[in-house]
């Protein structure tokens, strides 16, 4: 009787340990859940939504982040937090703000994911009319809710090493479940 119970207990323990190992591997190397805290990405991402971040694309496959990717990263001024923003400027590009529009390498960036008529203003790091060149292995990021976003306009560029991953899937609340798509631009 005790032998059967012991074998049953070991079988259960084996399943639990295996499940935990799979979860831990997935969490550390493949997908990580994140909660959106705030409305800096409105109207496309909402406060208290949950999403899965793809950690494979940038970290394991070594693919370069692209303009329009929605990323999760460790911000320069709050190292104990993680932010979600959209990549606007890539390494080597020039970024400026003119008359409420983003200018990349001298061309207006068409941002169809923003609410109609949403102007973009400058801030401490990048003011209206100034031009900033994105350094190698760094990115210029902005929230979709330009009037309420702490982003590269305020504190500068995000180093590639601080990227946690690319937003992949919004899964909570269930009625808002959707795959996160990168934006298409005019260039």
Q: Which of 40, 96, 149, 152 is catalytic?
A: 40
Is 85 assigned a catalytic role?
yes
Q: Which helix (H) or strand (E) holds 27?
A: helix 2-29
Kind of pairing, strands 178-179 and 107-108? unpaired
- Catalytic choice (26, 55, 62, 85): 85
Rounded-to-integer distance, Cα 119 and Cα 16, Å: 52
Instruction: Tell me the DSSP string of 57-117.
Output: IIIIS-PPP-TT-EEEE--SS-TT--EEEEEEE-TT-EEEEETTEEEETTEEPP-TTSPTT
Look up residue 103 and give its two tokens.
């200018």
Helix ranges restricted to H, 36-160: 152-155
Three-class DSSP category at 56: helix
Q: Could you confirm whether 35 is annotated as catalytic? A: no
- Number of alpha carbons in the 13 Å side-chain half-sphere of residue 177: 3
Catalytic residues, by residue number, are 40, 85
């Amino acid at each position: 009787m005790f032998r059967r119970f012991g074998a049953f207990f070991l079988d259960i323990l084996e399943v639990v340990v295996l499940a935990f190992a799979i979860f831990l591997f997935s969490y550390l190397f493949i997908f990580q859940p994140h909660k959106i805290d705030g409305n800096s990405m409105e109207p496309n991402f909402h406060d208290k939504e949950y999403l899965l971040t793809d950690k494979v694309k940038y970290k394991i496959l070594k693919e370069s982040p692209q303009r329009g990717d929605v990323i999760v990263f460790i911000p320069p001024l709050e190292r104990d937090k993680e932010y979600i923003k959209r990549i606007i400027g890539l390494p080597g590009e020039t970024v400026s703000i003119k008359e409420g529009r983003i200018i990349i390498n001298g061309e207006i960036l068409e941002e169809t994911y923003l609410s109609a008529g949403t102007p973009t203003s400058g801030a401490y790091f990048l003011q209206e009319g100034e031009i900033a060149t994105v350094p190698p292995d760094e990115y210029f990021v902005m929230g979709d809710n330009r009037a309420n976003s702490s982003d590269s306009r305020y504190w500068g560029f995000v180093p590639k090493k601080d990227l946690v991953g690319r937003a992949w899937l919004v899964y909570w609340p269930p009625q808002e479940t959707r795959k996160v798509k990168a934006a298409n631009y005019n260039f």
